[in-house]
């Protein structure tokens, strides 16, 4: 049976979700077993007596939040065992040993509750884009492939989880950079000829219709746009001082297009990672486990660098606390909310809570978060098969008032052009692909709002004063 001060609370909450007394007793036994195991496993870190009680406390908090939701969650004994007890034990141990707790993405792909219809559409688009991308990779002679799990988790980590959670008002109307983190898609589209069209055809998206161009000196936009002036212009400082044309957004992305754009970007970044492995005589991408492929490619996605085997192993085994703690107070960088393993364990046992771990400048920190979410999905759900492909969900009744997936109709803006301000140089015309938008707009808005140059999110994180680029952003727009 469950021991400790939260024993009765845990049992009462199990009973609130599960009516069968035998199943409640089973959950009590599972939790008690996990208490003992967690304390034994963490004993190598430091004094671990009391870690089991931390686990029970977190299970109680998890279930209390679900019970208090509107409407309350409906959970089976199996879901509680895996996605509550199992996950909370996983989170506790991974936080202590890696310094960063894993993301929890269970509710974003189950096709249930208020965003269930959108989640099902996302799943469909993920699989369709994976088919399209792998067909293109085959034609290109690439020996590696991408998976649904990689695409889904990357989409969620780059903003999808926020928009499926607290900000459902954004669903169906995404800004490619501000809302879904597609920083380098301009380069990606240039380097992957034909892939965008293959994705559009397979997924039913229209990525090619997002961007329009106006000539230098024009007094009106040739294609009407519904995007406000402060967000529509797509600039690329430093490429060419006097370009003949300027790109701009004609509309926002649909949810499906946000997923499709993420897929295109993922192929680009994973190919960079794969070629780096070959160049450095490392084990090739296709010979690595799916987990390792996700880690190596995610590091490139977040930093532009694949890193080395030591870092891959630290992330893969969640033994990165010394790395994270050592980087936490790097000169000229904002402190990271991480601690040494022994200190993290002692803090939780003393009654502490997990720190708020929002987006920060260290790529390993980001990848630990999302790989933790990836590993948790593979371990505690049946959403994905062993090969990373999505498992079809059972059919459900369509909600009577589903979320609208298209942007609200706004009268097109056909107005005199106000030259984009705040940038000393403008984009070159050599970037003719639609996705010139992504990196360009984030760059322009950062430099304009923060009154400094940051040629990309990546450069901003590496600059000696990253806060100068980020502080001026409204909280809802910060990366």
Give the span between the Cα atoms of 81 and 75, in whole angstroms.
10
- Which residue shows structure tokens 């096709």? 111
pLDDT at residue 6, rounded to an integer: 62
The length of the chain is 479
Confidence class for position 449, pLDDT limits 50, 70, 90: very low
Higher pLDDT, 399 or 59: 59
Q: List, for residues 106-137, the tens digit of each pLDDT value.
A: 999 999 988 999 999 999 999 999 999 999 99
Higher pLDDT, 191 or 3: 191
Among residues 411, 341, 272, 399, the alpha carbon closest in space to that of 96 is found at 341
Burial (CB count <10 Å: 0-12, 13-18, 19+), residue 462: middle
Give the span between the Cα atoms of 207 and 227, in whole angstroms.
16
Q: List, for residues 285-332, the tens digit of each pLDDT value.
A: 999 999 999 999 999 998 888 899 999 999 999 999 999 998 887 777
Give the span between the Cα atoms of 442 and 24, in whole angstroms.
51
Long-range contacts of 282-291 (CB under 8 A, 24+ apart): 282/309, 284/143, 284/144, 285/143, 285/144, 286/143, 286/144, 286/145, 290/147, 290/149, 290/150, 290/387, 290/388, 291/316, 291/371, 291/374, 291/375
Percent above pLDDT 90 for the chain = 57
Give the span between the Cα atoms of 257 and 115, in whole angstroms.
17
Confidence class for position 245, pLDDT limits 50, 70, 90: confident
pTM beyond 0.85: no
């Amino acid at each position: 049976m469950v021991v400790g001060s939260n024993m009765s609370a845990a049992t009462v909450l199990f009973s609130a979700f599960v009516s069968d007394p035998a199943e409640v007793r089973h959950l009590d036994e599972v939790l008690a077993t996990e208490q003992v195991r967690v304390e034994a496993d963490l004993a190598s870190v430091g004094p671990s007596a009391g870690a089991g009680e931390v686990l029970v406390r977190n299970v109680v908090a998890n279930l209390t939040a679900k019970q208090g939701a509107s409407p309350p969650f409906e959970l089976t004994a199996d879901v509680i065992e895996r996605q509550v007890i199992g996950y909370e034990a996983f989170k506790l141990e991974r936080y202590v040993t890696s310094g960063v707790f894993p993301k929890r993405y269970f509710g974003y792909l189950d096709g249930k509750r208020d965003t269930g219809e959108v989640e099902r559409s996302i799943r469909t688009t993920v699989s369709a884009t994976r088919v399209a991308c792998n067909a293109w990779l085959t034609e290109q002679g690439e020996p590696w492939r991408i998976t649904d799990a990689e695409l889904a988790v990357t989409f969620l980590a780059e903003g999808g989880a926020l928009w499926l959670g607290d900000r459902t008002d954004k669903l169906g109307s995404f800004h490619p950079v501000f809302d879904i983190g597609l920083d380098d898609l301009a380069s990606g589209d240039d380097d992957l000829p034909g892939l965008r069209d293959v994705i559009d055809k397979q997924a039913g998206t229209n990525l090619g219709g997002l961007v329009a161009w106006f000539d230098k000196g024009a007094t009106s936009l040739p294609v009407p746009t519904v995007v406000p002036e402060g967000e529509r212009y797509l600039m690329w400082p430093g490429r060419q001082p006097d370009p003949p044309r300027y790109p701009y957004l004609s509309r926002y992305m649909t949810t499906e297009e946000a997923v499709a754009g993420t897929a295109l970007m993922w192929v680009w970044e994973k190919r960079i990672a794969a070629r780096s492995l070959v160049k450095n005589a490392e084990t090739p991408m296709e010979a690595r486990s799916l987990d390792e492929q996700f880690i190596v490619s995610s590091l490139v996605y977040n930093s532009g660098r694949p890193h080395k085997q030591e870092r891959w192993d630290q992330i893969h085994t969640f033994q990165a606390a010394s790395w994270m703690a050592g980087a936490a107070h790097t000169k000229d960088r904002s402190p990271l909310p991480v601690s040494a393993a022994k200190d993290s364990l002692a803090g939780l046992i003393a009654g502490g809570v997990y720190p708020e771990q929002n987006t920060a400048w260290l790529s390993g920190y980001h990848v630990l978060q999302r790989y933790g979410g990836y590993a948790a999905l593979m371990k505690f759900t049946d959403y994905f098969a062993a090969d990373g492909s999505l498992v079809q969900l059972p059919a459900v009744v369509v909600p009577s008032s589903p979320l609208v997936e298209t942007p609200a109709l706004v009268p097109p803006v056909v107005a005199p052009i106000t030259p984009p301000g705040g940038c000393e140089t403008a984009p070159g015309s050599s970037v003719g692909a639609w996705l010139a938008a992504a990196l360009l707009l984030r760059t322009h808005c950062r430099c304009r709002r923060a009154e400094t140059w940051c040629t990309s999110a990546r450069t901003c994180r590496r600059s000696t004063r990253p806060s100068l680029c980020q502080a001026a952003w409204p909280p809802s727009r910060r990366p």
